[in-house]
């Protein structure tokens, strides 16, 4: 049965192709085909996962090869897929959350004339993402990696008539290219060092390859992961990517694609375990991004951008956990899954709010929406409680485990993660207060209303998952489940009992909530964004995304522009000038030499006569002298 | 002896000037013959002066070449005249354009 795992990819891919090729007749039912394809992929994934559950732990890695992709000399690449404990979880997350978002999009995109195309892109995304996680060779993984990049580009720029959306799509694509260079170089290095790019073989060979190779490989993979997962320093594209339709932000830029970097690091555990330096780099990148994202999330008034900052921050948590080695891998994946649930839930909730508010994204124009949109409010609240780590909710378990492991690694890393938890609680409370509580600050022509059932049912499902996602940790199930793939982590003894640390984390989160409530819940909020000059320097920096774009501009864009201009000048004036100048001089000389050629015999005769006379004179001069 | 050489010089100069200034192809041709014969005169004069036959042999060669040249040259002139109704050398400037 596992030989058929390629169907997980083929079904949505075929549906996507069909929707793109089929003409206008498919407009009426294209979205149903797309949703059905995603659901079929999900059901098949459930069947495979159930079959995996029934097997012994050693037999749970099921590989199959479709065909030999490349076979030249010593380089051999199979179009191979592996359904194991890790990729199985991912398949369920991608197709499950993906299907819910497909259903939601039916309602959200109802009035869009290009809805069929939207579903085609969504299906292509699902196919590419499943390829990415099933791949058993880094080159096949790269195929999915670029596929999700393409789908992301197409969907961010889906409303291409808006120049800002087109620019955001381009930006995401270009920034991702930087990360992809890291991926491409990593694959080349694998081939040069190990003669293979099969994931299993590379990770088995990495410990014996020497520290330098493992570190280089780890850092290159980390560069790729940074690009895809919007980690510092390649974070700048994610906030702009919010130009895409909201279901896209939920599926691609919150739940699945941006977590591909975390998947890559966990999948390449053999490489990162062999290099302390690369592992530490992952941890630092995660920690920095976690704080930077939270900072940005505190300052944005655009609900989607606030959520995007939060996504950055949560992926920072996952990266941090992945940087803690085998002890952190299961919790990185655990948080990835719970985050997939509650962040998709909140993004879809934000989409539902926008749907009722005439697509306004400014939270300062919201307020008191809990009565107008009770279902959206209730489900959003479930996601909110999950992300701040309210005891019992999914985010509570996953974040708690990450912070606990971080404290086991290093006190300061743990404190950074703890601070992040407090800030998370603060900005999410701010978002809740500005959107659902307080006074009405609606524009005159806005009449908020609850979204149709096709949109609220996915919200309810995701809200339930946000609440119950923590069940994966019952009896350490996910740790034991993933152990054959990621290895067994050593357990650090903490200075204080784990339950006390949990209490501290909850206390920090509670103080973040309290701060958010007293800042935004008790006082009226201005209906317009205060000017930059009237807010603190921290808010200003957060609003400008910590000046990431300006730094990119100054460090990369402008020097490159100047270099290009100089090279163009050098090429035009220098090289072209020399070549065309030479040709011009030759032409002028020829024109000058043409003049004596009159065509008259007598002038030629005179020239000849003159020449002979000069020769004779020379002869005479030589002889007489 | 000097008189022969002087005469030869005068004849050659007349021939050279004629080639350069006259337009009629026949006259140009005659002037070329004049130059050839001026050199012939110089050859035989020097031959006589030095008392060997080298110059006379050279003069015979010149005469033979001149006879052949006349045949080719005159036939070219005649065919040009037939096609263009003109014997002016300035009219035969087609190579220029």
Name the one residue in this structure whose structure tokens are 């263009």: B84
Rounded to a whole number of angstroms, the CA Rg of chain B reads 16
As given in the structure block, the two tokens for residue A503 are 């209490």
Domain count, chain A: 3
Note whether residue A55 is domain-resident: no
- In this prediction, residue B85 carries a pLDDT of 86
- Per CB-CB distance under 8 Å, the chain A contacts of B97 are 599
As given in the structure block, the two tokens for residue A11 are 């079904």
The C-alpha of A593 sits at a distance from chain B's nearest C-alpha, in angstroms, of 13
Binary contact (A602, B90; C-beta < 8 A): yes
Q: Are residues A516 and A576 in the same domain?
A: no
> Region A223-235: what's the mean pLDDT?
93
- Give the whole-angstrom CA distance, residue A360 versus residue A349: 14
Question: What's the CATH architecture for B2-84?
Answer: Orthogonal Bundle (1.10)
Binary contact (A601, B16; C-beta < 8 A): no
Q: Are residues A441 and A512 in the same domain?
A: yes
Q: Is a pLDDT exceeding 90 seen at residue A2?
A: no
- In this prediction, residue A620 carries a pLDDT of 94
Q: List the single residue in A with minimal CA-CA distance to B91.
A: A600
pLDDT band of residue A438 (cuts 50, 70, 90) is confident
The C-alpha of A601 sits at a distance from chain B's nearest C-alpha, in angstroms, of 7
pLDDT band of residue A579 (cuts 50, 70, 90) is very high
Binary contact (B20, A605; C-beta < 8 A): yes
Q: Are residues A427 and A563 in the same domain?
A: no
> Region A157-164: what's the mean pLDDT?
93
Q: List the single residue in A with minimal CA-CA distance to B22.
A: A602
Q: Are residues A477 and A331 in the same domain?
A: yes
| Contact yes or no for A447/A534 (Cβ under 8 A) | no
Note whether residue A268 is domain-resident: no
- Cβ contacts of A530 within 8 Å, gap of 6 or more: none
As given in the structure block, the two tokens for residue A112 are 């869009």
Domain extent at residue A616 = 597-625
> Region A267-289: what's the mean pLDDT?
93
Note whether residue A151 is domain-resident: no
Q: Is a pLDDT exceeding 90 seen at residue A410?
A: no
Q: Are residues A303 and A340 in the same domain?
A: yes
Which of B19, B90, B97 has the CB atom closest to A600's CB atom? B90
Average pLDDT, chain A: 92
- Per CB-CB distance under 8 Å, the chain B contacts of A609 are 16, 19-20
Q: List the single residue in A with minimal CA-CA distance to B32.
A: A605
Torsion angle of C-alpha atoms A427, A433, A436, A441, degrees rounded to 10: -110
Q: Are residues A492 and A357 in the same domain?
A: yes
Per-residue pLDDT reduced to its tens digit, B32-79: 999 999 999 999 999 999 999 999 999 999 999 999 999 999 999 999
Note whether residue A272 is domain-resident: no
- In this prediction, residue A73 carries a pLDDT of 86
Do you find a cis peptide bond into A489, omega within 30 degrees of 0? no
Average pLDDT, chain B: 90
Note whether residue A261 is domain-resident: no
Q: Are residues A453 and A523 in the same domain?
A: yes
Binary contact (B16, A599; C-beta < 8 A): no
| Contact yes or no for A258/A340 (Cβ under 8 A) | no
Q: List the single residue in B with minimal CA-CA distance to A597.
A: B96
A 585-614 residues inside an 8 A Cβ radius of B = 597-602, 605-606, 609
B 9-28 residues inside an 8 A Cβ radius of A = 16, 19-21, 23
- Give the whole-angstrom CA distance, residue A76 versus residue A71: 5
pLDDT band of residue A527 (cuts 50, 70, 90) is confident
Least-confidence region, from A13-17, A338-342, A362-366, B88-92? B88-92
Note whether residue A376 is domain-resident: yes
Q: Is a pLDDT exceeding 60 seen at residue B97?
A: no
As given in the structure block, the two tokens for residue A387 are 């992300």
Binary contact (A602, B16; C-beta < 8 A): no
As given in the structure block, the two tokens for residue A230 are 């919007």
Binary contact (A609, B20; C-beta < 8 A): yes
Reported ipTM: 0.82
- In this prediction, residue A561 carries a pLDDT of 95
> Region A575-592: what's the mean pLDDT?
94
Q: Is a pLDDT exceeding 70 seen at residue B95?
A: no
């Amino acid at each position: 049965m596992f030989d058929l795992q390629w169907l997980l990819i083929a079904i949505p891919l075929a549906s996507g192709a069909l929707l793109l090729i089929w003409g206008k007749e498919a407009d009426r039912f294209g979205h149903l085909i797309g949703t059905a394809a995603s659901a079929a992929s999900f059901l098949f994934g459930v069947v495979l996962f159930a079959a995996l559950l029934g097997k012994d732990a050693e037999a749970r890695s099921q590989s199959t090869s479709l065909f030999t992709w490349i076979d030249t000399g010593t380089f051999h690449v199979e179009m191979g897929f592996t359904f194991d404990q890790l990729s199985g979880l991912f398949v369920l997350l991608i197709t499950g959350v993906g299907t819910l978002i497909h259903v939601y999009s039916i309602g959200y995109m109802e009035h869009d004339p290009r809805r069929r195309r939207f579903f085609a892109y969504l299906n292509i995304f699902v196919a590419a993402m499943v390829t990415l996680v099933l791949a058993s060779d880094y080159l096949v993984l790269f195929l999915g990696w670029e596929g999700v990049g393409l789908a992301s580009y197409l969907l961010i720029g889906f409303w291409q008539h808006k120049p800002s959306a087109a620019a955001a799509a381009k930006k995401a694509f270009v920034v991702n290219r930087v990360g992809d260079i890291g991926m491409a170089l990593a694959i080349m290095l694998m081939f040069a060092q190990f003669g293979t790019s099969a994931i299993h073989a590379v990770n088995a060979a990495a410990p014996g390859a020497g520290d330098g190779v493992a570190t280089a490989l780890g850092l290159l993979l980390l560069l790729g992961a940074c690009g895809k997962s919007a980690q510092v320093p390649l974070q700048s594209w994610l906030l702009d990517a919010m130009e895409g339709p909201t279901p896209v932000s939920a599926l691609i830029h919150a739940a699945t694609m941006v977590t591909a970097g975390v998947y890559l690091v966990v999948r390449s555990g053999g490489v990162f375990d062999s290099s302390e330096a690369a592992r530490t780099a992952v941890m630092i990148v995660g920690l920095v991004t976690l704080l930077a994202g939270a900072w940005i999330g505190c300052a944005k008034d655009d609900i989607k951008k606030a959520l995007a900052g939060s996504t950055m921050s949560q992926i920072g948590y996952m990266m941090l956990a992945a940087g803690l080695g085998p002890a952190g891998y299961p919790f990185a994946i655990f948080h990835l899954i719970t985050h997939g649930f509650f962040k998709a839930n909140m993004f879809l909730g934000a989409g539902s709010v926008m749907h009722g508010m005439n697509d306004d994204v400014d939270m300062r124009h919201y307020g008191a929406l809990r009565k107008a949109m009770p279902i959206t409010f209730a489900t959003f609240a479930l996601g909110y409680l999950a992300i701040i780590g309210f005891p019992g909710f999914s985010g509570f378990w996953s974040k708690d485990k990450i912070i606990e492991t971080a404290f086991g690694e290093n006190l300061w890393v743990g404190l950074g993660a703890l601070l992040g938890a407090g800030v998370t609680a603060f900005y999410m409370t701010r978002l809740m207060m500005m959107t659902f509580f307080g006074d009405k600050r609606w524009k005159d022509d806005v009449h908020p209303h609850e979204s149709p059932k096709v949109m609220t049912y996915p919200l309810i499902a995701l809200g339930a998952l946000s609440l119950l996602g923590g069940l994966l940790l019952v009896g350490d199930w996910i740790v034991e489940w993933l152990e054959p793939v990621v290895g067994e982590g050593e357990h650090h003894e903490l200075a204080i009992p784990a339950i006390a640390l949990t209490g501290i984390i909850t206390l920090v989160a509670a103080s973040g909530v309290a701060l958010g409530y007293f800042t935004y819940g008790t006082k009226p909020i201005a209906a317009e964004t205060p000017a930059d000059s009237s807010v603190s320097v921290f808010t200003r920096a957060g609003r400008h995304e910590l000046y990431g774009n300006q730094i990119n501009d100054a460090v990369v864009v402008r020097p490159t522009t100047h270099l290009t201009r100089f090279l163009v000048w050098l090429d035009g004036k220098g090289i072209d000038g020399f070549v065309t100048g030479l040709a011009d001089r030759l032409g002028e000389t020829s024109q000058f030499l043409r003049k004596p050629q009159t065509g008259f015999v007598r002038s030629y005769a005179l020239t000849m006569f003159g020449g002979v006379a000069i020769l004779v004179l020379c002869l005479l001069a030589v002889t007489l002298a | 002896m000097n008189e022969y050489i002087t005469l030869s010089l005068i004849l050659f100069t007349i021939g050279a000037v004629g080639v350069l200034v006259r337009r009629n192809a026949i006259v140009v041709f005659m002037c070329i013959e004049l130059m050839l014969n001026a050199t012939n005169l110089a050859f035989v004069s020097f031959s006589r002066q030095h008392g060997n036959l080298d110059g006379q042999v050279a003069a015979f060669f010149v005469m033979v070449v001149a006879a052949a040249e006349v045949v080719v040259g005159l036939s070219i002139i005649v065919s040009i005249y037939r096609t263009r109704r003109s014997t002016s050398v300035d009219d035969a400037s087609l190579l220029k354009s």
